[in-house]
Structure 1
Amino acid sequence: MLLVAVPGDLGNQLEAKLDKPSVVHYICYKKTENFFTLWLNLELLVPYAIDCWIDNMRQWWSGATRETTTSEELHTTGGKLRQMIEEMAEKAGGPVVLIAHSMGNMYTLYFLNQQKQAWKDKYIKAFISLGAPWAGVAKTLRVVTSGDNNRIPLISPLKIRSQQRTAVSTTWLLPYDHSWPKDQVFIKTPTTNYTVKDYEKLYSDIGFRDGWLMRKDTEPLVSDLTAPGVAVHCLYGNGIPTPEAFQYSDMFPDVEPDVVYGDGDGTVNLRSAVQCKRWTGQQKQPVALKELPGNEHVNMLTNITTVDYIKTVLFSP
């Protein structure tokens, strides 16, 4: 039995080789002879060097030049993933187990929704979902509004915000109204409350109108949470204070907010993580939920309970 892992944001690694016409600071490299680790390299996040990192990590997106949509890009990536799964299944002599973490679950769900049922029956034994943000996560609203340094003290949230706003995937993970109350306030300022129905106004008020176009690009991809059509094992952490709402002063949006916490794994809100339960009865394949009390979003990857559960799925008949 073989498995295919689809990592989330913090689980990814990105290498770069530079050849740039200009730089934002004299200490930044225009050209490098070899590839080097760009994400996640903490050595690049120190003062001054972070300006180079932000410029290298920025994604260029324009609503006026959207010749290739997000869905088309995912379709291209999905073709490569499909080919890899088929090759691995042929070598192993049987179907594979897909394991995804964090945002990787959204990509995996989109991929499975594009495949014919006969193909899934032949090549996919199960889909193990770890810490999935099925209904989005509240903390992404802080990311696009005032930035989030992921608790790395060297980084100023406002400094890194310019890079974080360029990531289209961030807007994909804003909370969805299919699971969150339409009157729940996520961002509160002295003059305005923002709910799941106020994203267009929020993006306008923070001076980031392209963000609304990015949201419209990504929202339809898996917003209906169509059942994947394969056996699902949904593992999620809880019991850890998780950002649920943000209160800003009159310096909004250029100030760090006071955070209101709820339940979850420290990143993914519990409300979002358990939405996979809706697939019970929507597909003939089984759907199992496994609660991981006290498991943090990233640390759950090395938790012995998680590892043992994966082994059980891998080696089951």
Structure 2
Amino acid sequence: MELQQQHHILPLVALLIATFFFVGAPSLAQDATPSLHPVVLVPGNTCGQLDARLTDEYEPPTPACGIPKQGRGWFRLWENFTALQEDPSLLPCYADQLRLVYDPVAGDYRNLPGVKTRVVAFGTTRSFRFDDPARKNVCMEGLVDALEGVGYVEGANLFGAPYDFRYAPAAAGLSSEVFSDFSSSLKLLVERASERNGNKPVILVTHSMGGLFTMVFLDRSPLAWRRRYVKHLVMLCLGVGGSPLNMWPLAFDTLSPPSLPGTVLTYGNRSFASMFSLLPSPKVYGDTPLVITGAKNYSADNMVEYLAAVGLSEEQVALYRTRALPLTLNLRAPLVPMTSINGIGVPTIDRLVFLDGNFTAKPELVNGDGDGQINLQTVLALERLVGGDPDQPYFKSILIPNTTHKGMISDELALKRVVSEILGAN
């Protein structure tokens, strides 16, 4: 089935990396296919690797979490599969150091006091490659290899824009310093990539939550800049309107047995700015029951009540209502040529049933259609939003049967279709 419709420190670090990176670009460009437009990849959630440094201000949950690292410079905070294999006792340390706190005075999220972080290898795709075998097919590594197979060259016309996935864009007028820094760095990267490739505009290729970040980035960029520097947006595995699946991790804050990915997606997420980013939108789901209990049903319309019921604090619920919800309700077409590619035909959570009201228990799952994470309903909402905007210059929606969320960037047939669309955008 295929549907088509036409119509803190990050800026300085990114600048230094980009400067180093582009100095050697001419020699790399000799090996790249000159007719290709440069591509910038924006990965999905948890695909940006993070380094950390601890200062004396950090108060560790146990002495072992702070003393070995304090004063020893930067170390890999996320992801560190090899380190945890060697010493599993580090798990609570890394989990603690990944947490964010909300600063009501600044009106923004921050790292824990004494924890400094930076995104690894901004400007390149190197951080998309993980040493954890379980994550090999999650973070665009297969797409990088496929693009290199058709003439793209890392550092010449192929670039990466990882981000700190713990943070998120906020509603207009509210502070989101880390996202603002990412936007500035991405803008500079796009401009440099264009300049190094004969001033050709850039093709942005996103996966999952990277698509949300990129849509907000484009919406907040001047239209003249978009028309000059963005050739096409190819967005993989994202609709508009979130997913009921994302309500589940918020219902519990422990996993057994614990793991670092599980910690990030549960315990960690309760402190992350991004934990609300892909919750179901009232514009898409309305009053449709998404979480069902014996006493009460919860929908996107009464999400505030659900968040309170699963134990989020009044401050956290208020942050959803003031920072995340307005952004969700006001997503707009990117106003650049756009192709959306999504998987369908895979059971995807539509509803969670906790009949006894125990949110810490595993719910009964009621499935609908989608890619296993993104519901078809939100993809159709994207088609209405983007395809229905008279100012959107071009829009094409492709649905690939029996393709999962991670399969879109790892399965051979799906990769061939994605690469074909990128080449077509050229």
Give the TM-score, by structure 2 length: 0.67
SS in 1 for 2:397: strand
Matches within 5 A, 1:5-84: 5-19=41-55, 21-32=58-69, 33-42=72-81, 44=84, 48-63=89-104, 66=107, 70=170, 71-73=174-176, 74-84=179-189
1:143 — aligned with what?
A: 249
* The 10-residue stretch of structure 1 (307-316 or 294-303) with the greater mean CA deviation from structure 2: 307-316
Would you say how many aligned residue pairs link Structure 1 and Structure 2?
314
CA–CA separation in structure 2 for the residues paired with 1:163 and 1:267? 20
Moved more, 271-280 or 90-99: 271-280
The structure-2 alpha-carbon separation of the partners of 1:175 and 1:67, relative to structure 1 and needing over 3 Å to count, comes to closer
- Structure 1 residues 313 and 293 mapped into 2: Cα distance closer, same or farther (>3 Å)? closer
Cα gap change, 1:173 to 1:284, in 2 (>3 Å): closer
Q: Is the 8 A contact 1:137 1:267 kept in 2?
A: yes
Structure 2 equivalent of residue 113 of structure 1: 219
Give the secondary structure class of the aligned counterpart of 2:367. strand
- CA shift, 1:4, in A, is 1.0
SS in 1 for 2:196: helix
Partner of 1:236: 342
Q: Distance in 1 between matches of 2:80 and 2:206?
A: 22
Hey, what's the Cα distance between the residues in 2 that align with 1:55 and 1:112?
33
CA distance 1:40–1:239, shift in 2 (3 Å): farther
Q: Gaps (5+ residues) in structure 2?
A: 1-36, 110-168
> Per-residue CA shift, 1:66-88, capped at 9, x if unaligned?
15783542333212211211111
Question: 1:264 and 1:167 mapped to 2: Cα distance?
Answer: 26
Q: Is the CA contact (8 Å cut-off) linking 1:185 and 1:245 kept in structure 2?
A: yes
Structure 2 match to 1:167: 272
Contact 1:100 1:108 in 2 (8 A): yes
TM-score by length of 1: 0.87
18 and 251 in structure 1: CA distance in 2 versus 1, 3 angstrom threshold: farther
> Does residue 224 in structure 1 map to residue 263 in structure 2?
no
Distance 1:199-1:284 versus aligned 2 partners, 3 A rule: closer
- Contact between 1:103 and 1:133, CA under 8 Å: does it hold in 2? no
Asked if structure 2 preserves the Cα contact closer than 8 Å seen for 1:2 and 1:97, the reply is yes
The answer as to whether partners of 1:14 and 1:37 remain within 8 angstroms in 2 is yes
Structure 1 counterpart of 2:419, one-letter code:
K
Separation (CA, whole Å) in 2 of partners of 1:220 and 1:176: 10
Q: In the superposition, relative to structure 1, how do residues 67 and 29 fare at CA in structure 2: closer, same or farther (>3 Å)?
A: closer
> Using the alignment, how far apart are the partners of 2:368 and 2:42 within structure 1?
27
Q: Which residue of 1 aligns with 2:360?
A: 254
Q: Is the 8 A contact 1:106 1:222 kept in 2?
A: no
- Relative to structure 1, is the Cα distance of residues 92 and 153 closer, same or farther in structure 2, using a 3 angstrom cutoff? farther
Paired with 1:162 and 1:17, the residues of 2 have a C-alpha distance of 21
1:176 aligns with 281
Further displaced range: 166-175 or 4-13: 4-13
Matched, 1:307 2:415: yes
Structure 2 CA distance, aligned partners of 1:111 and 1:297? 23
The alignment partner of 1:92 has SS state of coil
Structure 2 counterpart SS, 1:265? coil
Unaligned runs of 5+ in 1: none
User: CA separation in 1, counterparts of 2:215 and 2:263?
Assistant: 32
Q: Is the 8 A contact 1:47 1:154 kept in 2?
A: no
Distance in 1, Cα, partners of 2:108 & 2:259: 34
CA distance in 1, matches of 2:423, 2:219: 26
Q: Describe how 1:98-137 pairs up with structure 2 within 5 A.
A: 98-137=204-243
Amino acid paired to 1:131? C
Deviations 1:235-254 (A, max 9, x none): 11111111221122546233
In the TM superposition, residue 272 of structure 1 has moved relative to its aligned partner by 1.4
303-312 vs 50-59, greater mean Cα deviation: 303-312
Cα distance in 2 for partners of 1:131, 1:99 equals: 11
Residue 195 and residue 125 in structure 1: after superposition, are their counterparts in 2 closer, same or farther (change >3 A)?
Answer: same
> 3-state DSSP class of the match of 1:221?
helix
